[in-house]
Chain A
Amino acid sequence: MTYTRCQLYPMRRWTKGFSLVEVLITISIFAIGVVAVASIVPTATYLQKQTVQDVTIHGLSHNIKAFLKGRPFTYRNGGVLDLNGTDSEATFHKDHVGAGIYDYSSVGDHVADHVALSVAVPLPGYVYGYLTVNDRSYPAVAEDPSNRDFYWIPLVQDVNGDPENPDWRVYVFVLQGGGQYDLSTQYNGHEIISESNRANPASDISNYTDDEDYSFFPPVPHDMFSPIPHVVSIELDDPEDSVGGLRFDFDNRHDSDTPKDDPDQVRIGDQILDSNGVIYQVTDADSDGVIVDSIIRDVPHWPNRIWYGRPASRVDPSPTRQILMVTDGVLK
């Protein structure tokens, strides 16, 4: 007589082992869990890196203020003195008024000869003799300025526009380095970047290009790169429509490879500066402009352009980490 296993061990439930498939499925589920947990580490590392950079930028911002206040530009006779401490023939105010870069005829009665500097503008080239890229980068422990972590670019504004009684304010873009920044001035066949809307001095380009012909703008052709990030401006479309609202309209898509409706210049989270010297945070962006976090005002003028840190390429984030405003003691 034969007995089955169940008959021999009636109280013991017959079981079989896991199949290989079951084990593999289990391991797969376990692996997914492990990977999920493990992914916390690089995220935490990234956040910590961001925190370290934020702390570094906090310290750098104080250094920048010390630089600007401990070594103020000398303003005299309607102009900023040049490197040798003498009056420049082309004084600061006259530079911008005479060049006709800023046409405020539409502003009406507020237009005056000296109104030009009441908007934020780059420092003139000869003043940049005081602020070489070596002095405008951090940390100096890295001997070669092109290998440094952060760079800063100042813009200046005489808020009341009165050369006899200037009311200076300096805005500083703190930019993160580490990339190779495209120096091209033309996109989609038309000029985007010109001398008037690049805040960096020409030396930031000429020092990092082998060909001396590229020390002047414009144009800079494609395939020219610099390790120094750049601050540029772009003119607004219908600036009067911006006032009272939250949207700046401008060409926010420069590269034809960028998807049609996507921005490739200013994106969500970026900080920008308008020509009135107001700092905004971008809350939304598309290829035709951005929405900012506070009401756009027309004081002292209708804003006609915005300044921003130009991404290294269409897929890179903005290099701008902070925009500082320094008010006292920057010019004497």
Chain B
Amino acid sequence: MMTRINTHSGFTLLEVMVAFAIATVMIFVLQVMFSETSSAISQGVAISRVIGDSRAISDQLRRDADRMISPSGNGVLLIINKEIPNVPVIDPDGKESSSAVVETVTRRAVRSDQLVYIVDASDLEPLAPSSKNGFHGRGAGYASHARIWYGHLQQLRKNNSSVVGIGLGEKAYDSDGFPTFNPNEVGTHWVLGRQALFFQEKASSGLSVVHAKFVVDDYYLVNDWVGQLRGFLDVEGYKPLWYDKLHFGLTDVFAKNFDSSNMGSGATQWAIVDLLDEWYNLDESYQQCVMGLLAYPFNHQRLQVSLDAPYRSEDLADQYKDSHKDSLDEDDPFLSRHVAQMHPCFSENVSDFIVEFAADVIDDAPFGPDGEPDHDEDGNIKWYSHFDIPLGNPGDQRFLSVKTPEYYSPYYITENDQKYEDVIDHNVDAAFVWRHNDNSGNSHWPYLVRIRYRLHDKRGSIVSHLDSQPGRWFEQVIQIPRP
């Protein structure tokens, strides 16, 4: 009888157990390693983006500061402080859902300051499109000066409707009653804006009018826009007022005429710097005009922009045209206002934007006026803001408040001061204005301005090692040109 002997034995139980144990350890180690590697890489990518953004911000701040006009050159400087309490910020451990509703947030106060000044615009160009269907601006002609503005923007929803102010946390609902994403709700998503508003000379000032044609209707000539903003007349059937054009970022050219002999309410020929001097004589609408040109302190209302940018590339433009083909004209694929609204978008994911200044404010001996910024008892530079408002000698003018019937009196605005009720209603904690004619050797203009901002990655995963809060801090000190 033939007998088969199977000499091929299987693994023993011990071998299998050892193999499983080794495999388990290997899997665990590999999992930990890849997990940490993945985390390190994503963190690295996030930090790289934040650092890249910070460089873009600091470089632009520096370039603009180098162009800043001193009071000797009719410059104007504004610093507006605002702290918005209880703003939700993405927690580092939180996750963002597809509807962008944040599941895990922390709440804290966020600073939303503004910085405004006048620059030499000789080497700058306006960006707003010059026609309804065009996507580039033209030279501003004899725009010798421009107003630079930095501050948080107010993002529009995707459909550009139902604008919600920064920090209000207001919910909006679509036609079916479902809440829609409010892009301004979470501080981590706030967008820092920058806009140069060009002050274009008018023909009567002796210069030829070589200007960008920012109107779509040729009927409106530049001469008709003296003291007004020029921009698009129609926004999808809506004819915006001048401040709408400004607040929607639809224009960045303002035609002005320097004629200081014709000032006051009802005047049509102003220089922006004269308007500041004549502030108290202006009626409210013109006061708003001035502040509208210089800053955006009213009604939580900042530059309103859309980050929905179909024009970022041709592919995206085609996608946008496809998705909007029912609402778009065949010959009018998408509107240049989208371009205009995109221009003020400077840097995304900036929560805090803090502007402080160092100035020679205190006159009491032994501190001054000594031609040096004030310092505390330890000799440290005092950085003034609405937290530490400088109180000069009574009757002494240090700053011109943005909303005061009196020319030289109070320097600041507080929520307890009824005289400034209008401004308080309009979202300002404190506003400091340095005037163009404060150009003596003992000028009150600050020496230094310190800008601090907190940058986030989109997922809010970066945490500051300084305060263990989401985001990374950056600081920039700029020298202010004095007389």
Contact = CB atoms under 8 A, between A and B. Distances in A.
A and B together in one complex = yes
Interface stretch (A107-115, A131-139, A236-244): A131-139
A69 interface: yes
B473 interface: yes
Interface residues of B, number: 55
A63 B475 contact: yes
Interface stretch (B36-44, B315-323, B427-435): B36-44
Nearest to A203: B379
B101 interface: no
B474 interface: yes
A315 interface: no
Interface string A64-86: 01110111001000000001110
B475 A2 contact: no
A3 B3 CA distance: 8
Nearest to B454: A141
B451 to A, nearest CB: 10
A71 B36 contact: no
A58 B22 CA distance: 49
Contacts of B26: 27
A23 B19 CA distance: 9
Contacts of A1: 2
Contact of A74 (B8, B48, B55, B371): B371
Contacts, number: 116
B109 interface: no
Interface string A7-35: 01000001001001001100100000010
B477 interface: yes
B33 interface: yes
Interface of B (DSSP majority class): mixed
Nearest to B3: A2
B370 A141 contact: no
A44 interface: yes
B477 A141 contact: no
B467 interface: yes
B47 A23 contact: no
A99 interface: no
Nearest to A85: B370
A55 B29 CA distance: 35
Contacts of A140: 383, 450, 452, 475
B378 A130 contact: no
Contacts of A58: 55
A5 interface: yes
Interface in B353-368: 358, 366, 368
A-B complex: 3 closest residue pairs judged by Cβ atoms: A70-B479, A85-B370, A63-B477
22 contacts: A2-B3, A23-B22, A38-B37, A45-B40, A48-B44, A52-B47, A55-B51, A59-B55, A59-B475, A69-B479, A70-B358, A70-B447, A70-B477, A71-B381, A71-B448, A85-B368, A130-B379, A132-B380, A135-B380, A140-B475, A141-B473, A147-B466
Given A5-B5, A41-B40, A132-B380, 17 more contacts: A2-B3, A3-B5, A5-B6, A5-B7, A27-B22, A34-B30, A38-B33, A41-B41, A55-B51, A55-B54, A62-B477, A65-B479, A85-B372, A130-B379, A139-B466, A140-B450, A142-B466
Interface of B: 2-8, 11, 15, 18-19, 22, 26, 29-30, 33, 36-37, 40-41, 44, 47-48, 51, 54-55, 58, 62, 358, 366, 368, 370-373, 378-381, 383, 447-448, 450, 452, 464, 466-467, 473-480
Interface of A: 1-3, 5, 8, 14, 17, 20, 23-24, 27, 34, 38, 41, 44-45, 48, 51-52, 55, 58-59, 62-63, 65-67, 69-71, 74, 83-85, 129-130, 132, 134-135, 138-142, 147
